[in-house]
Structure 1
Amino acid sequence: MENEKSKGSKALNIKLLLGGLMISLLVGALDNSIMSTAMPQVITSLGGMAYYVWPFTIYLLTSTIAIILSGKLSDIYGRKKFLITGIIIFITTSVLCGFSQNIMELTFFRGLQGIGGGILMTIPFIVVAEVFPPRERGKYMGILSSVFGFANVLGPVLGGFITDFMGWEWVFYVNIPVGIAAIYMLRSYFPNLELVVKEGSIDYAGIVTLTAALSGLFLGLTFVRDTAVSSGLAATLFIFAAVMIVLFIYAEKKAREPILPMKLFKNSIFNVSSIAMFLSSAVMFCGIIYIPLFIQGVQGMSASTSGLLIIPMLVSLTVASIATGQVISRTGTYKKLGVLAFVLLTIGIWLLSTMNTSTGYLALVIYSTIMGIGTGMMYPIFNVAVQNAVSLRDLGTVTASMQFFRNIGATVALPIFGVIVNLSVNMNIQTAKNVPPELMSLGIHNVFLSGLVISVAGLLVCLFLKEKVLASRGGFEGDKKELHGK
């Protein structure tokens, strides 16, 4: 009787834990999806079509840095503290974003918001990896990852209607109640996990050099233009970024507690998974950012309509994520699923590249749904693969690393996509609020073609992923970690 009561209590605690983690993850995931349909109206209001991707990219840049830091620092100082801090940062900066008066202010505040977002996108996955054994992680990773799909379904629709009927500023204010709910859940149900590293040092050299490298790369990609001055500035920034990357690698080899241990790159599963996450993320954001722009900028529909039209893609993303996690848990394998995911992603982005001003709504929905299935399958596959290939001590770092490479893929790709659109349009849109549909269609077509090349490269890389049988033991042990407590 007591044994049954104990099992029931444990099951309840697991549900409460997952609920708290999913709400906290929703806070960060909802923001990006809401922005996708709101951004065309933001440009109409604030101007600056040439800077269309900046608020997305700066967010990804700062969240990428926060991701790689939060994995290691939460090893030292604890998951709960970092997660709640991340939510507070996110809520505060959301309010600041809503008060922005021009595109540069919005970009700056989005950069600050990304710090909180990076924390929120990392810690939940680390907690799941600690609590559950590898064989079960696929199922729970799929459930947790479904938050992205739910947010991606709710976000564009919510963002579209909020933008049309309340104003784009309110897409940021909606984060406040969700964030408060997440803090309440975490304070009540977050598990008491032992510190992985009880005595650790902070890798300040790694933090500084990585931040400098990513910032230089981001600015360099942003300033790529067809003028001699901008090209020279971009080249200088690229050289600076390359030097910082070399210094970062050197710092990590010398660091006592590196934020990105170089030893991880001796593991082929980690290497292939990192590249796959990098490339798949670039293609995913190619669709998430530019499909709404195609609907509004080329087909002339409202923000709310664009949100409704991409619902099938985002529903398929959610279902595919959950289903893939279940399949991984039942079969204990993942490579074939990874290859299949890239095949579907490649087909989807190829079909999207064939769209033009005469493309109908049904075709757009079908093409984007295929892409959504491939994208959704990616979420649990590579996280489970790398977590199964490292020791418990490296679990937090390696999970954060996967999120890092996922973010860096979009961070690098979005400025490139922005340059492709600007060069394709071939007109002075520095402060333009409207671009002719034919020119916008050409620019987006070229972006999807570049996404196709990236997706094919990801498919080829995934063929080299080694299969390692997922263990049925490990993860949470009742005498070491408790699934209750405040």
Structure 2
Amino acid sequence: MGAKHVTQVEAVPARRREVMVVLPGLMLAIVLAMLDNMIVGTAMPRIVAELGGLTHLSWVVTAYVLGTTVSTPIWGKIGDLYGRKTIFLASIVIFMIGSALCGMAGSPMLGGPDGGMTQLIAFRALQGLGAGGLMVNAMAIIGDLVPPRERGQYQGIMAGVMSLAMIAGPLVGGFITDHLDWRWAFYVNLPIGFVSLALLAVKLKLPRHRTEHRIDWLGAGLLSIGITALVLVTTWGGNEYDWGSPQILGLIGLAVVTLALFIPVERRAAEPIMPLALFRNRNFTLISLVGFLLGFAMFGAINFLPLFQQTVQGASATNSGLLMLPMMGAAMVISLFVGRAITTTGKYKIYPIIGGAGMALGMWLLSLMDVDTPSWQTGVFIAVLGAGMGFLMQTTMLIAQNSVEQKDLGVASSSSTFFRSIGGSFGVSLFGAVFNHQLSDNLTAKLGPAGEKLASGGGQFDPAALHELPAPVLNGFLESLATSISSVFWWAIPFAVLVPLLAAFIKEIPLRSGFGQDDKDETPVPAALD
């Protein structure tokens, strides 16, 4: 007993030192993914003003989220099979290439502004493919180095860094938009990526689990096609095409067929891209659904906050970044508190319940906004939303990882990230469709033919040029825009309400203090090192 106790005591500080050496590189990689989304969100009104119409706004986000979503399960699985270090570094490189190309979209080098929005959407999809490996492998690497009982504090730190990135993103994005060319919203990723790449290439050493190297490419292809078809249905349905049109019905049919084929393919695959056996675990299934709803409500709704602040409330791009501070600050503080509390007590069930309730309350408050809502009131509303997010950000991943064996850590991490990403993809698409439909109807009702012209995707939209409109047209436009954005938050409420209801059924299984299914062996014995 005494010898084992000494071994455990010595192992923990050694493990902590090992983690702290690579943690900066992992955090920079996470900052890449989080910072980019927030910077681009703040810069979007200017990007749309130069490259295309207002209705393209959601597609720039959708392309990125879709690229992230379809690639996430593949990154997780090949990380399990071939070693996470090499795969992680490859995802950083792909992300950096995508970032550089996004910055060049619509430039003279690529043919000028004509077609620039199409280029940006395509390059955002490539950027999303790289981003799919950033978050999932960063979390899985922590899982390789730290057992679940100690993981809460590290994931709390990483969640805090994510919140800091979400705070810095709007500020950096606002500064770039106001004082530099919007293209630097993408170029800023390159130096961060180089530092992370160099640090991890030198310092990161991971245990490699020997497994049979066989990728389920058929399953990955079917899953990607099915998910893409579903996202296109939610994006195009009722906007580009009628719901009963051949295009939409064809996409629905394609989604049903490919996802139906996906199930038997996964059952027969030697190394399934998403092992269906994982879903026999109640906690894993429930937390996957919670992650889906979290992504659906969070990414789908908050995408429209900078647009509301810059247009309806008249904030500059920089100020709209500052106005996001209450949400990100609340999320950061709560995330750090929850991470420490989980490590200290080993209890986690209550946090997703509280978080879901907080998100629902925040969405309801935001749905009350109108053209007369002051900035300070919006700040209070988004602080409530941010607090709810803080309770959920790392607990979903922690519960998913604690539900599986160590050999399936990458798959569990990628599945958790996948369901959050697919929820975000559906949310952005669906809420983008709701916004466009509501805006068109509201503008037409208030302004008639002039409103139809403003709502059309062919026209360009620039917040700085709003006040050049005649006063009646300006007032009608702002009222229509405020009402349309508020309706998005109203639609998000039911999805947020489901989060605490599902979380209530999670069974609180003790967090493992070792790397196996039990605690007989407190430290992993690596087969080899990357």
TM-score of the aligned structures, taking structure 1 as reference length = 0.95
> Hey, what does 1:474 align to over in structure 2?
515
> Hey, what does 2:502 align to over in structure 1?
461
Comparing 142-151 and 206-215, the one that deviates more: 142-151
> Hey, what does 2:110 align to over in structure 1?
none
Q: Which amino acid aligns with 1:451?
A: A
Q: Does 1:26 align with 2:31?
A: yes
1:299, 1:437 within 8 Å by CA — same for their partners in 2? no
> Hey, what does 1:268 align to over in structure 2?
282
Aligned with residue 179 of structure 2, among 135, 146, 165: 165
1:29, 1:147 within 8 Å by CA — same for their partners in 2? no
1:348-427 residue pairs with structure 2 within 5 A? 348-426=362-440, 427=452
Q: Deviations 1:19-40 (Å, cap 9, x if unpaired)? A: 2211122122211111110111
Q: 1:477 and 1:227, CA in 2 relative to 1: closer, same or farther beyond 3 A?
A: closer
1:192-203 residue pairs with structure 2 within 5 A? 192-195=206-209, 197-203=210-216
Runs of 4+ in structure 1 over 6 Å off? 3-8
Aligned with residue 297 of structure 1, among 311, 317, 321: 311
Q: 1:41 and 1:231, CA in 2 relative to 1: closer, same or farther beyond 3 A?
A: farther
1:48, 1:103 within 8 Å by CA — same for their partners in 2? no
Q: Which amino acid aligns with 1:430?
A: G
Aligned with residue 89 of structure 1, among 85, 91, 94: 94
Q: CA deviation at 1:14?
A: 2.2
Q: Does 1:445 align with 2:495?
A: no
Compare CA radii of gyration and give the structure with the larger one: 2
Q: Which amino acid aligns with 1:469?
A: P
Aligned with residue 71 of structure 1, among 76, 86, 92: 76
1:150, 1:314 within 8 Å by CA — same for their partners in 2? yes
Aligned with residue 128 of structure 2, among 108, 111, 114: 114
Aligned with residue 208 of structure 1, among 198, 221, 227: 221
Q: 1:6 and 1:353, CA in 2 relative to 1: closer, same or farther beyond 3 A?
A: closer
Q: Structure 1, unaligned stretches of length 5 or more?
A: none
CA RMSD of aligned residues (A): 2.1
1:35-74 residue pairs with structure 2 within 5 A? 35-74=40-79
Q: 1:235 and 1:332, CA in 2 relative to 1: closer, same or farther beyond 3 A?
A: same
Q: Which amino acid aligns with 2:456?
A: I
Give, in whole Å, the separation in 1 of the partners of 2:322 and 2:439. Answer: 27
Q: Deviations 1:290-320 (Å, cap 9, x if unpaired)? A: 1111101222221111001101211111111
1:204-243 residue pairs with structure 2 within 5 A? 204-225=217-238, 231-232=244-245, 233-243=247-257
Q: Aligned to 2:304, what secondary structure does the other structure show? A: helix
Q: Which amino acid aligns with 1:208?
A: G
Q: Which amino acid aligns with 1:19?
A: P
1:302-313 residue pairs with structure 2 within 5 A? 302-313=316-327
- Give the share of equivalent positions with the same residue, in percent: 34
Q: CA deviation at 1:350?
A: 0.7
Give, in whole Å, the separation in 2 of the partners of 1:321 and 1:227. Answer: 40
Q: CA deviation at 1:78?
A: 0.8
2:39, 2:172 within 8 Å by CA — same for their partners in 1? yes
Q: Aligned to 1:200, what secondary structure does the other structure show? A: coil
> Hey, what does 2:109 align to over in structure 1?
none
> Hey, what does 1:277 align to over in structure 2?
291
Q: Aligned to 2:505, what secondary structure does the other structure show? A: coil
Q: 1:423 and 1:134, CA in 2 relative to 1: closer, same or farther beyond 3 A?
A: same
Give, in whole Å, the separation in 1 of the partners of 2:508 and 2:219. Answer: 32
Q: 1:201 and 1:9, CA in 2 relative to 1: closer, same or farther beyond 3 A?
A: closer
Comparing 155-164 and 454-463, the one that deviates more: 454-463
Q: CA deviation at 1:134?
A: 1.4
Give, in whole Å, the separation in 2 of the partners of 1:39 and 1:14. Answer: 37
Q: 1:5 and 1:389, CA in 2 relative to 1: closer, same or farther beyond 3 A?
A: closer
> Hey, what does 2:17 align to over in structure 1?
12
Q: Aligned to 1:414, what secondary structure does the other structure show? A: helix
2:327, 2:379 within 8 Å by CA — same for their partners in 1? yes
2:80, 2:408 within 8 Å by CA — same for their partners in 1? no
Q: CA deviation at 1:398?
A: 0.7
Q: CA deviation at 1:433?
A: 2.5
1:223, 1:231 within 8 Å by CA — same for their partners in 2? no
1:276, 1:461 within 8 Å by CA — same for their partners in 2? yes
Q: Deviations 1:32-58 (Å, cap 9, x if unpaired)? A: 111110111111111221121111111
Q: CA deviation at 1:130?
A: 1.8
Q: CA deviation at 1:228?
A: 6.3
Give, in whole Å, the separation in 2 of the partners of 1:441 and 1:429. Answer: 17
1:194, 1:480 within 8 Å by CA — same for their partners in 2? no
Give, in whole Å, the separation in 2 of the partners of 1:23 and 1:227. Answer: 39
Q: CA deviation at 1:287?
A: 4.1
Give, in whole Å, the separation in 2 of the partners of 1:108 and 1:228. Answer: 21
Q: 1:204 and 1:386, CA in 2 relative to 1: closer, same or farther beyond 3 A?
A: same
Q: Which amino acid aligns with 1:432?
A: G
> Hey, what does 2:271 align to over in structure 1?
257
> Hey, what does 2:167 align to over in structure 1?
153
Give, in whole Å, the separation in 1 of the partners of 2:239 and 2:382. Answer: 32
Give, in whole Å, the separation in 2 of the partners of 1:272 and 1:5. Answer: 36
Q: Deviations 1:265-285 (Å, cap 9, x if unpaired)? A: 111101110010010112211
Q: CA deviation at 1:461?
A: 1.6
Count of residue correspondences: 483
Give, in whole Å, the separation in 1 of the partners of 2:193 and 2:384. Answer: 32
Give, in whole Å, the separation in 2 of the partners of 1:227 and 1:46. Answer: 19
Give, in whole Å, the separation in 1 of the partners of 2:318 and 2:241. Answer: 41
TM-score of the aligned structures, taking structure 2 as reference length = 0.87
Q: Which amino acid aligns with 2:220?
A: I
Q: Does 1:333 align with 2:378?
A: no
Q: Structure 2, unaligned stretches of length 5 or more?
A: 1-6, 107-115, 441-451, 467-476
2:286, 2:503 within 8 Å by CA — same for their partners in 1? yes
2:290, 2:503 within 8 Å by CA — same for their partners in 1? yes
Q: Which amino acid aligns with 2:525?
A: K
> Hey, what does 2:458 align to over in structure 1?
431
Give, in whole Å, the separation in 1 of the partners of 2:240 and 2:67. Answer: 28
Q: 1:191 and 1:482, CA in 2 relative to 1: closer, same or farther beyond 3 A?
A: farther
1:352, 1:364 within 8 Å by CA — same for their partners in 2? yes
2:136, 2:417 within 8 Å by CA — same for their partners in 1? yes
Q: 1:204 and 1:450, CA in 2 relative to 1: closer, same or farther beyond 3 A?
A: same
Q: 1:230 and 1:389, CA in 2 relative to 1: closer, same or farther beyond 3 A?
A: closer
Q: Aligned to 2:393, what secondary structure does the other structure show? A: helix
Give, in whole Å, the separation in 2 of the partners of 1:320 and 1:375. Answer: 8
Q: CA deviation at 1:8?
A: 6.4
Q: Which amino acid aligns with 2:56?
A: Y
